[in-house]
A = this chain, B = another copy of it.
Amino acid sequence: MASRLQVCAGGLLIGGGAPVSVQSMTTTPTKDAAATRAQIRELATAGAALVRVSVPDEESARALPEIIENTPVPLAADIHFQADLALLSLDAGIHKLRLNPGNIRRRKDVRRIAERAAELNVPIRVGVNSGSIPGDVREKYGSGVDGLWAAAERHLGLLGETGFTRIVVSIKASDPMLTVSANLKAASLCDHPLHLGVTEAGPPSTAGVRSAVAMALLLSRGVGDTIRVSSSGSPLVEPPLGLEILSSLGLLRRARVVSCPTCARARLDVAALAEEVSLALRTCETPITVAVMGCEVNGPGEAREADIALIGTPTGILLWLRGKAAGEVAPEQALQTLMREIARFSAPGGNCERERS
């Protein structure tokens, strides 16, 4: 596997050994700067390290300066077909472009974009989707691995002619295993950083699973430098799913809620508590483990490994702290108790820092 080059998008390093970052994309009309700014802030809070906005027309491009001003995370502009929109985005101060040179009609326009992007140190992502392989490529190579890579090669060739090097490559298919094969091929044939994603992955339940399958098989082999889980509907679900994938692979340390599936043995409303706790921990960067366990079969075992745990038992609900029993809790106080202990662990200078330092 070739080692990856590194690019920098508004301070965010991608590739070359930088931590794998999580991206998302707005669904607001970009020309509505206020709505787009608000969604970017929400996505950043949810864990996105870079947010992409679609720039389908001049009105959207004209809104970019206002959107970019004071943005909490770097922004990428998604451009199709129109060179002018890329140039306007660059002039507005965009941090990254997603643009396929093969879709820009005139080579001199590709050169203008590349030169301006190079001057501004703005990377360009060349992104091939299974849904947008050019017709002639599809006819010659099909719409599998070979077609996807041939499409990427065409765009990379056009950009390469200009001498531009700050390139990120993405090859996304709606079939997770095709996404895996295509990215393994890309990783073996080029040394640009790779942006991973499964395209058109459906609503959150299927998007999370399809993306996790493809990304696990790639990231576990060291392939992939930045990821996006694409989900239909609100994009706010995307960053948590991406973070969960990285955390599951051991690529990210963060707060984790473990909770049992609940069964006939459960003596505690595990699901409701687990959901509340997960929500509360979304903004917690302290890598604490909170266990919510319905009964005494697996409860003490998980509690022993957790920082904070609640376990249902025949005689009541037990609180465990740092692997040791710490008293009983009235059922109606369960959530409140968990929240109090989490706050104590997470507070700056609180228990967590003191105990762990």
Contacts and interface: CB of A to CB of B under 8 A. Distances in A.
A129 interface: yes
| Residue among A31, A201, A203, A212 with the highest chain B CB neighbour number at 10 A | A212
Interface stretch (A109-117, A188-196, A297-305, A336-344): A297-305
Copies in the complex: 2
Interface string A234-263: 110110110011001110000011111111
Given A174-B302, A278-B206, A264 B232 contact: no
A232 to B, nearest CB: 4
A162 B145 CA distance: 52
**Chain A facing B: main interface SS:** mixed
B210 A177 contact: no
A105 interface: no
Interface in A137-154: 143
Contacts of A298: 129, 131-132, 199-200
B130 A301 contact: yes
A85 to B, nearest CB: 12
* Chain A interface category by residue count: 35 or more
A244 B177 contact: no
Interface stretch (A10-18, A213-221, A347-355): A213-221
A305 B256 CA distance: 39
Interface stretch (A22-30, A40-48, A87-95, A327-335): A22-30
Interface string A151-181: 0000000000000000000000011110000
Contacts of A260: 199-200, 230, 232
Given A177-B250, A200-B291, A212-B209, A263 B26 contact: yes
Contacts of A215: 213
A204 interface: yes
Contacts of A199: 258, 260, 298
A97 to B, nearest CB: 15
A202 B258 contact: yes
B264 A56 contact: yes
22 contacts: A25-B261, A25-B263, A27-B262, A30-B264, A54-B265, A131-B297, A132-B297, A174-B256, A174-B302, A175-B250, A177-B249, A205-B237, A205-B241, A209-B245, A213-B248, A214-B216, A230-B260, A230-B261, A232-B259, A232-B262, A232-B292, A234-B271
